[in-house]
Structure 1
Amino acid sequence: MNCEHASELISLNCEQKLKVKDSLQLQIHLWLCPKCRHFKKNNNEMRKLLQNYCDPKSNCEKET
């Protein structure tokens, strides 16, 4: 797995559950690649910030 594919899976994992094969390959890649571990950490932090920023009762996607 290359970093580009790993970053796609990291982003996709925020929206849906990964297939077992993809999840295992991603975990191995993350174990070996500090840049992708950093990307995953930043991605998770950004998602948490956005969840805290957006009121779950409002529809943030329609706001501009």
Structure 2
Amino acid sequence: MKKILFMLIVCSLINIHIANISKLIVAYHIIHHENALGLLRTGWAGDRAVAPAHRRLIY
């Protein structure tokens, strides 16, 4: 019984950690593209004005 409980706790901690890492990756992509747009003003600039929410879903 204790072994099963321990495994459940470990698995839940691993899942929380993976979720946080994926959020950091998504945030990095959004920030990276915002900075690139600010510097280059090409390619995604039109999409930034038209559909910023859609672009955030993609990255």
Q: TM-score, length-normalised on structure 1?
A: 0.36
Find the structure with the greater CA-based Rg: 2
The structure with more helix, counted as a fraction of residues: 2
Q: TM-score, length-normalised on structure 2?
A: 0.39
